[in-house]
Each structure stands twice: as C-alpha cells, then as structure tokens.
Structure 1
Amino acid sequence: MAGESANNNEIVIPAITRIYMAPVGTAAPADATSPMPAALRNVGLTTEDSLKFTTEPNFEQVRSAQSSYPTRTFQTTDAATIEVDLQQWSGENFKAVYGGGEITTVTVTGPPAATHYKFTPPKIGSRTEVMAVVEVVDGGKHYRFVIPRCMQMEGVSKDLAKTKEAVLPLRLAIQGGDELDAFYVLTDDPAFAPAA
C-alpha cells in the first residue's frame, strides 16, 4: 500500500508468555510493563506451543434477487477464547481448568499420620467467572491482553501417558457486557502509536 514499507521490527516472536488469573473485579495492570498487581496469580509453566488467542465474529448476509453477491452483511455476535496447556498441577490450577470447585483437607489417621486433600469440581450452575491477563514479551516489546471476565467452558481431557508430562487444559471463553470492554491490549510497541 502507498506510504507503507516492509519493517521487520514489526514481526513479533512471543519469546516469553505468561498467564495470570484473579477474581472478577480485580484491578487490572495499568500499562504494559509495570509490576503485575499482586492479586493476579501466575498459573506457572505452560507448554511451548499451546497458547492461542482466538476471536470468532459471526455474520449474517442479506441476499437479493438482483445480485449474485450479498447485498448487505451485518455482524450478529462476537466470541473470543484463550487456550493454553498448564504444566503445573496445583489446587488453584485444578480450580482454573474445571471452572471452580472446592478443596478440602482430609486427615489420614495413620500410620503414618498425614494430610491429604480432596478436590471437588463445581456442580452445574456454579462455575466461576475469572479475570485473566495474557502477557507476551518479545525483547523490548511487551503486550498484555486483559480480559475482565472469562469462564472455563469446555470439558477437561487429560492424557496420562508415562512418556510425557500430563497437562491441564485451560480453555477460557471471554464474556462481555455493555459496561466494559470484553478484552483490550496494553503495549509499549511503537508500531501501535496512533497516526499523526
């Protein structure tokens, strides 16, 4: 296009990615590089190539006898999802991938006496919405995808093979609302500067 030139500085290689989660309503990071608010919990290690952020707008088309092409196209809905495979098994990560649940302590009387834990997934109708932040770092460029409300909305399938690590599949569907953005991106990348 006229006035544009090829610029390899605008290629992004996601060298480091991190996922943070917190209860809905938690304060979001103010910018792309300031320390992450303490209430946002880092889910830890994830597999190298599993992180995906997908948007899926849906459209309807009006057909008319006078045209072989649609005479009008309009958007009906928006949808977006985050997918990533968590490598770290913990109570909080189990709650994340199952959409909530409860962890209780089980005392083993003996011998030897020990403490065990019981995880119970949420019942129908009691899944919990969460806030999420996806952080992407490419050298000196930083991006934070901020999702004020999302929910685990898929089943959980775990491969328990002895030849590789067992992962927890986190699949978050972004929720919207008229009072806030469904998601937004914070970045210090100069390529995002508004045109003068």
Structure 2
Amino acid sequence: MTNSANVLTGKPLATGGVLMAPLGATAPTDATTALDAAFKAAGYIGEDGLTESNERSTDKVKAWGGDVVKVVQTDFATTYSFTFIETLNTEVLKAVYGAGNVTTTAATALKGTLHAVKVNSDTLPRQAFAFEVKDGDAKIRIYVPNGQITEVGEITYSDEDVIGYEVTVEAFRDSDLGANAIKYLDDGVPTA
C-alpha cells in the first residue's frame, strides 16, 4: 500500500545537522533522545546537504563456457559527504585541520576571537558523528561510531561565495554495532 506520508525531504534539525564527538561517546539508541553532551554541533552545512554513499565492489566468477555462476563481494565502504560553511567555528576548524593544530583564544576588549590554524600533513583523528535530519515531525538520526574525515576538498576564497570545507567521512565498521553506521527513523506519529 502506498502512503505519501512516508515520503521525506532531508532538512537539518534547527540545532544543526552534523555533530561530532570523541570516540567512545555514549551512543544514541533512537532518533529523538538527546545526544550525549560530548557531541558538538558543526553549525551550518552547505545547501547540498548530506550525501551518503554505499559502495560495493564485486567480482564475477564464471564457469567454463562463460556463464556467471557466483558474484563475490570484494569491498564495501560507507562514506558521508557534506560542506562545512561556518569558517570561524572552532569545532569545524578542529575537524578539518585536527584538534592539535587549532588554537583558539577568546575575544578581549581589543580583539575578537582568534584562531591560529596549522596546515600540515597530520592524519585527521577518528571520531563519532551524528547526522540529524527531519521533515515535519519525522526524524532520522544517522550514527557513525567510528568515522574519519579522509578527504578535504579545495578551499576557495572568493567574494562570490562563502568559504567552505567540503569533506568526506569514511565510516569504519564498528564491532559492537556490527555495521559502519546505524540509522534511526521515527515517523513522528504516536498512537492516540
């Protein structure tokens, strides 16, 4: 049976659509319960939103004569791509450059908040991610217990567009979860 109420768009929650926490932060167990306080919001994300990619590579095994008799999966990867657009957000800078490469000094009477960012080849750390999506009362939470930013796109400084950090997060398989990520969906319609 078809039901148009099951068709959703993917808007972020008002509190932010991308949140990050150190590995080991308490995992969510549903789409709506408040996240552990360790999760920090990344602020605004670019208008293209969040893209999930699940990539499977396979090899075909053929019998004599050319018939395909089996397909063997050789690789599986889950990634999430999005663009941070809050250039002055300390959590964003730490995610893109590594926490040890960002020094933030609070504003004073003479200067605003200062950030010193080292740009180097340090490997970005693994951390937990939560992606929060809603459409009306329906909510989706995607939890990645062990993710790592593995790609940062080109950064353009232009008077025609905002400065953004386009990133790809690799979701690693979590042995406790038995998956790379878990999605919690709540249709937002409680029983009467």
Q: TM-score, normalised by structure 1?
A: 0.81
Contact 2:60 2:72 in 1 (8 A): yes
Q: Is the Cα–Cα contact under 8 Å of residues 99 and 152 in structure 1 kept in the other structure?
A: no
Deviates more, 1:39-48 or 1:171-180: 171-180
Residue aligning to 2:5: 9
Do the aligned partners of residues 190 and 88 (structure 1) sit closer, same or farther apart at CA in structure 2, a change above 3 Å counting?
closer
Aligned residue for 1:34, secondary structure, equals coil
How far did 1:105 drift? 6.0
State how far apart, in whole Å, the 1-side matches of 2:112 and 2:34 are: 38
Task: Say whether 1:172 aligns with 2:131.
Answer: no
Q: TM-score, normalised by structure 2?
A: 0.82
Q: CA deviation at 1:158?
A: 0.9
Q: How far, CA to CA, are the matches of 2:104 and 2:175 in structure 1?
A: 41
Structure-2 change in CA distance of 1:7 and 1:159 (3 Å): same
Q: State the one-letter code of the partner of 1:172.
A: V
**Gaps in structure 1 of 5+ consecutive residues:** 107-111, 192-196
1:46 aligned residue: 45
Could you tell me the percent identity over the aligned residues? 23
Distance (Å, rounded) in 1 between the aligned partners of 2:186 and 2:42: 24
Query: How far did residue 152 of structure 1 move?
Result: 1.0
Mark the structure with the bigger radius of gyration: 1
Shift of 1:172: 0.6
Question: Structure 1 121/24 Cα, relative in aligned 2: closer, same or farther at 3 Å?
Answer: farther
- Counterpart CA distance in 2 for 1:29 and 1:141 is 17
Query: Could you say which residue in structure 2 is the equivalent of 1:127?
Result: 124
Shift of 1:100: 4.4
Q: 1:151–1:67: structure 2 CA closer, same or farther, 3 Å change rule? A: same
Deviation at residue 113 of structure 1 after TM alignment: 8.0
